Chain A
Amino acid sequence: MSDPLLDVAGLAVSYGGTVQALRGVSLQVQAGTVVAVLGSNGAGKSTLLRAVSRSLGAIGGRVTAGTVRYDGADLAHTDTSAAVRAGLVQVPEGRRIFADLTVEENLRAGGHTVRDAAARRRAHDDVLDLFPILRERRHQRGGLLSGGQQQMLAIGRALMTSPRLLLLDEPSLGLAPQLVDQIGEIIKQINVTGTAVLLIEQNAAMGLRVADTAYVLETGRITASGAAADLAATDEVRNRYLGVSEPGEQPASCAPAPAPRATVTLTTQTGAAQTGAAPIGAGPAEAQPRSEHRLTVAELTVRFGGVTALRDVSFTVEPGTVHALIGPNGAGKSTCINVLGGAYRATSGTVHYGQRELTGLRSHQVADLGVARTFQNISLSLEVSAEDNLLVGRHRLMRAGTLAGALRLPRARREESEHREVVRGIADLLGIGHLLPRPVHTLPYGDRKRVELGRALAAEPSLLLLDEPVAGMTHGESSDMAAAIASVQRRLGLSILLVEHDMPFVMGLAERITVLDFGRRIAEGTPQEVQRDPEVVRAYLGAAEAAA
């Protein structure tokens, strides 16, 4: 076999010296092949891609060990621009087209490094042939295109350099099934012309369908690799990335990729129990529900510019229950949480918490009704101690004003020490009591997640919104978190609405599940019901598989 076009060996990357994103990652891309890297949120996929395209510096990452060789040359001292000139181009995650520039100008910016005007014109024509819709709309601003068209523009923009190796960061993100299939076809077409593709995907079905070789990346390490077809058939991959398992059925080693049947079931509660999370639905809540309010979402629609993120979504969270919102990437789950929390405005539809209508309230007013939340990307004050971060959660329960605080009036001091005591109690029950004096930026990822949960609990909510509480956690951490959440919920009788990709986690914790796909509600029910729902299976596996 000839030398690989791209050879990554023992790569380690850290952010700011405290967070290790990749450890000892090795992979190869042969010229003219398609390689997929699969992994869930927080696995380090984008970090890997940026390490290859030399764009880590822009986000504060640093390669601490290992090498990246492209076409035989070490890229260690190469900048992004030089890599692009050598034919190594990345399409960034989330499309990131230049919204204020026209389609034509976007392509022009993509071809910036091409000196030869004739070559540029050729590439330009090829791109417009590949994406006829872009030719049609080439004088419109990029921001006016639909999601799928924006993805095409992002890919087309990168193709303007006629690359030898194209790096694609989650091209299927937030696209409708037909579009995902279309993007898959496009990748194959690009590959036919001899361009190698390194593809990062959470949508394992799509990744495995187009790739020759695949790697599985989990919390910064490669945990599986092989021919895409073989990988698609392993239980490991099916379980974790297709969200399915087929008990009792041996994977066929040479089956065409991928080979799930329509009879798949989602991981059951038994599986979750092994992880340590106590099933909640089994018995009645042990405490009086703190929440007597029902959260009612009715026909909620949210649009951003031309993109509809949520369309007529309705569901109800009963007092004192755990309700999960699941769905593939881009299904609109986080948008939904953000509307409930008051961060986004609903285009139409209503949200009621008890008698109060939340739509129209500002975030802090929603919080005052006893709704607390965590964030998908941890959002803490990094320079400040964990204790003070937790105390921010107490804000709505404390009364001392600015003047009282500045003068340290006895009232304010008493309040301060009482609330510090409460915060210590909360921290101890989450197992982060010993971390309280430390500035948050010195804490590892998992602890930050727990500090953030602690801050939300400190607000003594009756409804807790958790946006991906275990994203990027190892299996052990994830089950610890599940145990903590279950326990807190049971004792305090909170209502919890959670968004999560980790299926065992969700199945173990939630009493009811609403499934979103492309902004629509496609199913709702108990975990068991949802697992058997053909629509859900289709959403997770893609149209092609469900039809098979």
Chain B
Amino acid sequence: MSYLLTQLANGVSIGLVLGLVAGGFVIVFTSTGVLNFAHGSVVLTGAYLVAALQPDIGFWLAALVATAAAALLGVLVNAVLVRNLAEHNPATAAILMLGVDTVLLTEMTRRIGNRILPLGAPWGADVVSVGGVTVPTARVVAAGVAVVLFAALWFLFTRTGFGVAMRAAAADGDTASMMGIRLSRTGAAGWALAGGLAAVAGIFLTSFPTQGVAPSIGLTAFAAIPAWVLGGFDSLPGAVAGGLIVGVATALTVGYEDDLQVLGRGLGEVVPYAVMILVLLVRPNGLFGRQAANRV
């Protein structure tokens, strides 16, 4: 029983972190219509910056700088590249992001090499035990931070003028701009938010029990894509729910891998994608999606 609870706790925590990454996909997509395939390398870049800076300036300051830098990176990619596409449509924008991803990932791989950089986080490899359930402290912090961030996003989008303007711009950019809302600004804000969320997610994806920062984290972040698609492409609550589903499903499969031998080794890696395909068969627009996906 406590084993099951442990797996669930791990799953929820990882799921919330994936939700942060998936939320970044949603925000960039709704604010500028871009499928940000470079999101994974932004996650990696954020984590790398923390690992690279923390020996000199300490973990907390490094985390702050990394988050700001990842946000800035997003803003720059949007301003310098996306807005200057020769043909602006979702397909070319998506491919552009694949190009950006290649460049970023190559640079990170070159810098990190075969090493695994320690993150230097204060929670280290500590664990917390409550009623027989033992979880890494990092996972507890991750869940807490994610919940706080989601609350902050909710506040931003419903209680502040700029957040409402961002939603208006996402719903109907043309009309929003007639109201004097500058789409360049709401777009930049979207990319900045997504970048910041990616860096925070990067910190937790590389915390214990993960060894540290390695280029493969970029691919781990890719598991947020099923979370995003599951949730329905354009819904933040959907991203959170998708993240939780993917996180819990993965944790349970990994936890009970011995009982699932028939389905083959390494099942945990496929589960998010298998779940996604199954959900899409039943609900082609995802769980929270509007009809946009298959409406004519």
Interface residues of A, Cβ cutoff 8 Å to B:
53, 55, 58-59, 79-81, 83-85, 89-92, 96, 98-101, 105-106, 108-113, 157-158, 161, 343
Contact = CB atoms under 8 A, between A and B. Distances in A.
B172 A98 contact: yes
Contacts of A108: 161, 164
A90 B164 contact: no
Given A108-B161, A112-B161, A90 B168 contact: no
A109 B164 contact: yes
B165 interface: yes
Interface in B157-207: 158, 161, 164-165, 167-168, 171-182
A58 B175 CA distance: 10
A96 B169 CA distance: 12
Nearest to B167: A101
A297 B284 CA distance: 33
A108 B182 CA distance: 15
B179 A158 contact: yes
A83 B164 CA distance: 21
Contacts, number: 76
Given A80-B180, A84-B180, A109-B181, A58 B173 contact: yes
Q: Closest 8 A-B residue pairs measured CB to CB? A: A84-B180, A113-B180, A109-B168, A96-B175, A98-B171, A81-B180, A58-B174, A112-B165
A100 B174 contact: no
A112 B177 CA distance: 10
Interface of B is mostly: helix
21 contacts: A58-B173, A58-B177, A80-B177, A81-B177, A81-B181, A84-B178, A84-B180, A85-B180, A92-B178, A96-B172, A96-B174, A96-B175, A105-B158, A109-B179, A110-B179, A111-B161, A112-B165, A113-B181, A157-B179, A158-B179, A161-B180
A171 to B, nearest CB: 14
Nearest to A58: B174
B172 A55 contact: no
Contacts of A58: 173-174, 177
B281 interface: no
B181 A112 contact: yes
B80 interface: no
A223 to B, nearest CB: 28
Scoring B161, B165, B168, B180 by chain A CB atoms within 10 A of each residue's CB, the highest score goes to B180
Given A58-B173, A343-B296, A109 B178 contact: no
Contacts of B161: 108, 111-112
Contact of B168 (A59, A81, A84, A98): A98
A491 to B, nearest CB: 34
A101 B178 contact: no
B174 A109 contact: no
Contacts of B171: 98-101
A343 B179 CA distance: 32
Scoring B158, B173, B175, B177 by chain A CB atoms within 10 A of each residue's CB, the highest score goes to B175
A92 B177 CA distance: 11
B164 A105 contact: yes
A381 to B, nearest CB: 16
B48 to A, nearest CB: 37
Interface in B68-107: none
